[in-house]
Amino acid sequence: MLGKNKIIPFMLLFFFIISLFMSAFNSALAPDIIEDSWSTKTPMTYPRERLGVVAVDGKIYAIGGERTDLQVSYVGINERYDPETDKWVTLTSMPTPRTDFAIVAYQGKIYCIGGGTTDPALTGHLVWIRLNVNEVYDITTDSWSTKTPLPVSDAHIQAYVANEKIIVVTDVALYMYEPIKDSWTNITDTPTRGNSHIFSYGR
């Protein structure tokens, strides 16, 4: 049994060893701590707003939107950003230029659904319209394909993947899209409906 004269040195040695262990442990964890700071990276090639952004396999895709350096220009520009190299690459553009569409990635493909645009060829004059377009980008082949359109024309909508299906939330209802069957199902109407847009057009 330790006497009183030996307890104090023993305790000091114990706490010294513990402090060394904790110091080494904290040093090992230091690289994993995320700093609360911002850094500036290479900007997009084309300045845009109201575009669709999604991450796939560690890279970021920025698609469509409205050019902020032009008066009114809805675009289908498709760019990919690589965080490791801090570089942007321009890919094949989305067939239907638009903004405010739902975007989601599923099994190596990016689905761009609905959205809005201004197209005098469709309306005869400059007016913002909603779309039901469903266009899919294949990351492997850098190509687009057109799928069965959304049952309703709408913009400012969201899309999510659940149980290998794509769920789209619109102003009027929740729709489920099955990529394999290329078909839509109306799941349920939304409790509160919104209608802040001017004109609808499906194609």
pLDDT in tens, 64-84: 999 878 776 899 999 999 999
* Percentage above 90 pLDDT, the chain: 64
Structure tokens at 18: 């513990």
Q: Which residues pair with 80 in a beta bridge?
A: 61, 89
| Of 127 and 160, more confident | 160
pLDDT range class, residue 3, cuts 50, 70, 90: low
Structure tokens at 134: 């469903």
Could you give the CA distance from residue 129 to residue 202 in angstroms, rounded to a whole number? 9
Residue in the block written with tokens 């847009």: 197
Lowest mean pLDDT among 15-24, 72-81, 83-92, 149-158: 15-24
Q: Map out the domains of the chain as residue ranges.
A: 48-200
pTM of the model: 0.76
In single-letter form, the type of residue at position 92 comes to T
What's the pLDDT at 98?
94
Residue 117, pLDDT > 80, answer: yes
Number of residues that make up the chain: 203
**pLDDT digits 0-9 by tens, 187-199:** 988 776 554 433 3
Could you give the CA distance from residue 26 to residue 13 in angstroms, rounded to a whole number? 20
Considering only CA atoms, which of 32, 31, 13 is closest in space to residue 21? 13
Contact predicate 116/98, CB 8 Å? yes
Could you give the CA distance from residue 195 to residue 137 in angstroms, rounded to a whole number? 29
Q: What are phi and psi of 39, to 5 degrees?
A: -140, 150
Stretch 154-166: mean pLDDT, rounded?
A: 95
Could you give the CA distance from residue 176 to residue 102 in angstroms, rounded to a whole number? 13
| Of 155 and 4, more confident | 155
| Domain covering 48-200, topology | Neuraminidase (2.120.10)
